[in-house]
Chains A and B, each alone.
Chain A
Amino acid sequence: MTMIGWLQIILFCAIIVALTKPLGGYMTAVFNGERTFLSPVLRPIEAGIYWFSGVEERREQHWLTYTVSMLLFHVGGFLIIYGVMRLQAVLPFNPAGQGAVAQDLSFNTAISFITNTNWQNYGGESTVSYLVQMLGLTHQNFLSAATGIALAVALIRGFSRASMRTIGNFWVDVTRTTLYVLLPICVVYTLFLVWQGIPQTLGPYVEATTLEGAKQTIAVGPVASQVAIKMLGTNGGGFFNANAAHPFENPTALSNLVQMLSIFLIGAAMTNVFGRMVGNQRQGWAIFAVMGVLFIAGVSITYWAEANGTSIMHALGLTGGNMEGKEVRFGIVASSLFAVVTTAASCGAVNAMHDSFTALGGMIPLINMQLGEVIIGGVGAGLYGMLLFVVLAIFVAGLMVGRTPEYVGKKIEAREVKMAMLAILVLPLMYLGWTAVSVVYPAAVASMANAGPHGFTEVLYAFTSATGNNGSAFAGLTGNTLFYNLTLASAMFVGRFFMIVPAMAIAGSLAAKKSIPPSAGTFPTTGGLFVGLVVGVILIIGGLTFFPALALGPIVEQLAMNAGNVF
């Protein structure tokens, strides 16, 4: 670890803190339907879209209608991706002549993108056409991100409203998020990325003759426009197989810094949106602080572990940290930071191969996902995930002092706590359950690339990532098999929608409640005690759930490595 490494980490954190409030203010105005500086340009387009699509802008929806609208929207999204992938061979924008994608892989990828997971069983440049990248993947990068944000806003409305039956209009929320937040940032961001060196072309792959006379086929494409939304929307599905480690997806140290910032940007701002909408920005900063504590702890451990390197390297006299599966332009610190950022948020883009991380360095990304990706989290999803933990923490605090718990003026009662528990329990059921099946099913075991405990971690990581809708991988695992395509798809589906539906039920039930003014007996939720309590609840629930699995994977591997064992 070096001073300059820590300075890079501090710089990253400082920029995020600085951007949270201004973007939060802008986004709050967007969600409340107020005029913004972009309204003169975008308002006519927005109104035209509503008119054409039959959306009644002022008609709000009950939570159930809101949720059903969201589900219908996803059915359509699924069909578009699946259809374009199956038909890519006969559709335009296919200069590399890619053939139809197999049924199970198309199914997996379509589920993967509508759930904002973007798990890469597809190979990017070796599998899909430019049309799939644009019409299939880029479009769903926008819409699954907009959906996540819309759902979080709906849940916030549950807290901020009183005695109301509705929580907003899904169609309006998605349209406004796409037009006013995601698209304008992406237009500027794409140009920045092209300036840094990311290709943006519809031309065919380039045939080069290297200095030594060998042939090199260089894959290009409309990359920058997809990378922009892939990061901003915490999607993470790469244009290329190597994702953000590929020099064409992340060419410079500056593009890397901005990409990491853009992963956290909206998720961090959502905490401020929450504070503003419930009428006290300090409520937002308290949640931000919970995330910050867990984030700094994770970064420190991974950076330390990667800078330290492995026993094999020490024995050979190699210094400079674990550079296997890392790029020189990022080095140890920017690779470690990226790994923690991408798994804390549910992005899943990678600029280094997590499979080659040290045991402890790779365990932190795994833990980040197992905690439910609430450390900033996916756009929107991180906030509603975190609010579920807050509900539990408030409930625990209420039990300790024997009072009905309340949060930002709303009584937290049995229904909310049951729904929060349902959402939180369904995740480990998926990733622990499928991991258990996979390690005894021979065809699934055959997919492991590494032997010993590392192979187990590959499988655990895959199902954790899928359930958490992250999408990063211990990529040695051969995931493109019928078994993994179907099981991972089921984990992604349950991980997304079995969290959303209970969260929306909470939104509906909270919106209907009366708002009660704080009294002397109200537990203050803007101070250090509250932050500590929520951090504690997250770590205890998380720890109890997945510690046994971690003991079989990264923990035993670290011990084996220290003892000089190889597999």
Chain B
Amino acid sequence: MLREIRPAIVLLLVLTAITGLAYPLAMTAIAGVIFPSQAQGSLIERDGKVIGSALIGQEFKDDKYFHGRLSATLAPDPNDSTKTVSAPYNAANSGGSNLGPTSKALADRLKEDVDKLKAENPNAAVPVDLVTTSASGLDPDISPEAAEFQVPRVAKARNMPDDQVKQLVASNTQGRLLGLIGEPRVNVLALNLALDRATAK
């Protein structure tokens, strides 16, 4: 047994150096050359400033923007570091609501949000993804139905014809890969950037 001691120490250190340092550092160097944008986090700049990442959702509250999913992310309470406070789309602390199917808190929240959305657009069925929190709290997408649902509000806030907004939604809708894999979706940040560009013209 004693002769197993040396491999137990030396082999562990060698394999640790290979898998824990050489491998991630080499991959960082290679990926940075081949896919520089993705490796940095697919950041989007406007007027020379980073406004976010194409893959990370951000909070939209203004009527003139399309709103994303609800986000249950938290941040440390500035007044008491042992507690946390709600901080939607906190991209430094991802997470979901973890409310279960028989949770009263979830039932109350759903009812409140469904009522709010029904008041906003009584003519359409409320899409389920607009009243539920995402798993990461950073979901960048909404369903095409959820975008469609918000068209009247956004069009009104921007004094744009409904059809023009609908067209922007359509051109920012991504289908399934090969018509099969995944779900149709609309990237909220990309859509809102397109809206801003259309208004600027």
Question: What is A's interface to B at a CB cutoff of 8 Å?
Answer: 4, 7-8, 11, 49, 52-55, 65, 68-69, 72-73, 75-77, 80, 123-126, 134-136, 138-139, 141-143, 171, 174-175, 178, 183, 186-187, 190-191, 194-203, 205-212, 214, 216-220, 222, 224-226, 229, 240-242, 245-248, 251-254, 256-257, 309-313, 316-331, 334-335, 350-353, 355-359, 449-454, 457, 474-476, 557, 560-561, 565-567
Contact = CB atoms under 8 A, between A and B. Distances in A.
Interface in B1-58: 1, 3-12, 14-16, 18-21, 23-25, 27-28, 30-32, 34-35, 38-43, 49-58
Contact of B101 (A141, A190, A350, A557): A557
B1 A68 contact: yes
Given A320-B127, A359-B102, A326 B58 contact: no
B185 A328 contact: yes
A200 B129 contact: no
B183 A331 contact: yes
A327 B15 contact: no
Interface of B: 1, 3-12, 14-16, 18-21, 23-25, 27-28, 30-32, 34-35, 38-43, 49-62, 65, 69, 89-104, 106-107, 110-111, 114, 125-129, 131-143, 176-177, 180-183, 185, 189, 192-193, 196
A11 B97 CA distance: 31
B183 A247 contact: no
A201 B41 contact: yes
Contacts of B57: 247
Given A136-B20, A320-B127, A220 B40 contact: yes
Contacts of A334: 182-183
Contacts of B107: 312, 566
A319 B124 CA distance: 13
Given A8-B181, A175-B11, A201-B28, A248 B110 contact: no
A331 B100 CA distance: 18
Given A135-B16, A220-B41, A353-B96, A191 B7 contact: no
B31 A557 contact: no
5 contacts: A8-B181, A212-B59, A246-B136, A248-B53, A324-B132
A52 B106 CA distance: 59
Contacts of A125: 92-94
A134 B143 CA distance: 36
Given A222-B27, A224-B27, A246 B138 contact: yes
Given A211-B65, A324-B99, A218 B52 contact: yes
A194 B35 contact: yes
Nearest to B182: A253
Nearest to B45: A208
Nearest to B62: A212
A288 to B, nearest CB: 24
A357 B141 contact: no
Given A178-B15, A325-B133, A352-B135, A206 B180 contact: no
A240 B65 CA distance: 28
B120 to A, nearest CB: 15
A186 B51 CA distance: 32
B52 A210 contact: yes
A138 B97 contact: no
A225 B125 CA distance: 43
A492 B167 CA distance: 53
Contacts of B53: 206, 208, 218, 247-248
Contacts of B4: 65, 68-69, 72
A197 B15 CA distance: 28
A566 B12 contact: no
Nearest to A183: B23
Contacts of A457: 100
Most buried by B among A186, A208, A450: A208
A242 to B, nearest CB: 4
A69 B48 CA distance: 56
Contacts of A76: 8-9, 12
A254 B180 CA distance: 10
Given A226-B24, A331-B182, A356-B98, A325 B134 contact: yes
Given A54-B3, A241-B93, 9 more contacts: A11-B180, A199-B38, A200-B28, A247-B139, A248-B56, A323-B132, A325-B99, A454-B102, A566-B102
B10 A54 contact: yes
Given A353-B135, A557-B102, A313 B89 contact: no
Contacts of B182: 252-254, 256, 329-331, 334
Contacts of A224: 27, 31, 39
Given A201-B28, A324-B106, A316 B93 contact: no
Contacts of B183: 253, 328-331, 334
B8 A320 contact: no
Contact of A8 (B7, B32, B98, B180): B180
Contact of B100 (A65, A321, A355): A355
A324 B125 contact: no
A222 B181 CA distance: 27
B19 A138 contact: yes
Contacts of A52: 10, 14
